[in-house]
């Protein structure tokens, strides 16, 4: 059985079809890199998988069912928004807020949940973040905290929305390696959206490329080609392979890097 299956699904936001008539299936344990230009629907797709945005046409199933909000078997790392600069909440309370945070009443942290949080923080090598204020953490530290949070409760599917943003190159590698190892060990299916393909090349099983309302899922060698990407970007794309790297160029400019530079102001605009 597929973990995620889309059958001629259309995903709409405010009357605009972000992804149109798309079909693909993701098998258990796959590590999928989700790529595509800004606004191609990476976040939208993840929100649909979470049950926040039912397809306006076609079918979308997760673990064989229509997705519903609050499914504990899905771990989610939202794209990192600007954290309020004065938010002096320590890491432990931050993660604790997400544990059954949807229930009514006063917040509480049971010893068992506390142990779970600490064990997961240990696993990502971030034990020290439990007692530090969020506003004192670097972007990389926050990202590790969020990653730990996504892994709590032993999810079977991880949706990671741009987990590499605000990390330097070295930390990006650490995060990718970590996710790859954990997911192989725990047999977790991963959707990992990113701006740059090259760092993910050694980790991903397949790539899901979004653009122009379409989605193409396949092996990197089959998808990251000039004809496929030209169609997804809606403009003529060149793909160069050199020294184990892949460069996606539009009129000589590196498409991924150009995207990356704009990424903040742009993506936040339609983060909802």
Partner 1 sequence: MFQYEFMTNAFAAAGMVAVVSGIVGYFLVMRGQTFAGHALSHIGFAGATGAGLIGLAPLWGLVGFTLAAGIVMGLLSERISNRDVAIGVVLALSLGFGLLFLHYYTSFATQATALLFGNVLAVDHAMIATLAALGVVTLVALAAIMRPLIFASLQPELAEAKGVSLRFISTAFLAIVALAVSACAQIVGVLMVFTLMVGPAAAAQRVTTGLWAGLMLSAALALAEAWLGIVIAYHTDWPVSFCIAVLSAIAYFAALTVPHARPAHAH
- The answer to whether 34 and 42 have CB atoms below 8 angstroms apart is yes
CB of 60 or CB of 197, closer to partner 1: 60
Residues 6+ apart with CB under 8 A from 210: 19, 34, 35, 36, 40, 41, 42, 45, 232
Which chain residues interact with partner 1 by CB under 8 A? 47, 50-52, 69-70, 74, 76, 78-79, 81, 84, 86-90, 92-94, 96-98, 100-109, 114, 131-133, 136, 149, 271
Q: Report the distance separating Cα 52 and Cα 50, nearest Å.
A: 6
CB of 88 or CB of 253, closer to partner 1: 88
CB of 111 or CB of 242, closer to partner 1: 111
Compute the least distance from the CB of residue 155 to partner 1, in Å: 12
Give the CA count within 13 Å in the CB-facing half-sphere of 51. Answer: 14
CB of 28 or CB of 78, closer to partner 1: 78
If DSSP codes are grouped into helix, strand and coil, which group holds residue 218?
Answer: strand
Compute the least distance from the CB of residue 45 to partner 1, in Å: 13
Q: Report the distance separating Cα 160 and Cα 191, nearest Å.
A: 6
Q: What is the CA radius of gyration of the chain?
A: 19
Instruction: Report residue 219 as tokens.
Output: 């092996």
C-alpha distances (whole Å) from 137 to each of 86, 90, 123, 220 are 12, 10, 18, 35
Instruction: Report residue 168 as tokens.
Output: 């330097």
What is the chain's percent helix, strand, coil content, to nearest 5?
Answer: 35, 25, 40
Compute the least distance from the CB of residue 84 to partner 1, in Å: 5
CB of 130 or CB of 204, closer to partner 1: 130
Burial zone of 111 (CB within 10 Å; 0-12 exposed, 13-18 middle, 19+ buried): exposed
b/e sequence 123-156, b meaning 16+ C-beta within 10 Å: ebebeebbebebeebeebbbbbbbbbbbbbbebb
Compute the least distance from the CB of residue 265 to partner 1, in Å: 14
CB of 102 or CB of 185, closer to partner 1: 102
Compute the least distance from the CB of residue 130 to partner 1, in Å: 10
Compute the least distance from the CB of residue 52 to partner 1, in Å: 6
CB of 16 or CB of 170, closer to partner 1: 16
Compute the least distance from the CB of residue 57 to partner 1, in Å: 23
């Amino acid at each position: 059985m597929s973990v995620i299956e889309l059958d001629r699904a259309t995903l709409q936001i405010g009357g605009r079809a972000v992804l149109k008539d798309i079909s693909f299936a993701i098998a258990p344990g796959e590590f999928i890199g989700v790529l595509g230009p800004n606004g191609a629907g990476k976040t939208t797709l993840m929100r649909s998988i979470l049950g926040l945005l039912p397809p306006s046409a076609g079918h979308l199933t997760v673990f064989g069912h229509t997705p519903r909000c609050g499914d504990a078997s899905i771990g989610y790392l939202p794209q990192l928004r600007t954290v309020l600069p004065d938010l002096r909440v320590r890491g432990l309370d931050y993660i604790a807020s997400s544990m059954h945070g949807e229930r009514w009443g006063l917040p509480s942290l049971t010893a068992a949940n506390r142990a779970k949080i600490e064990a997961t923080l240990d696993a990502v090598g971030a034990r020290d973040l439990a007692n530090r204020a969020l506003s004192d953490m670097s972007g990389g530290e926050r990202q590790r905290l969020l990653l730990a949070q996504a892994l709590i409760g032993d999810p079977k599917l991880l949706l990671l929305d741009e987990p590499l943003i605000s990390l330097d190159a070295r930390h990006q590698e650490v995060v990718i390696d970590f996710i790859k190892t954990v997911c192989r060990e725990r047999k977790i299916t991963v959707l990992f959206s990113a701006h740059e393909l090259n760092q993910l090349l050694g980790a991903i099983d397949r790539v899901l490329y979004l653009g122009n309302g379409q989605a193409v899922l396949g092996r990197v060698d089959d998808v990251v080609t000039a004809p496929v990407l030209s169609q997804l970007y809606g403009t003529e794309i060149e793909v160069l392979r050199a020294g184990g790297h892949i460069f996606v160029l539009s009129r000589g400019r590196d498409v991924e890097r150009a995207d990356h530079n704009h990424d903040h102001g742009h993506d936040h605009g339609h983060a909802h």
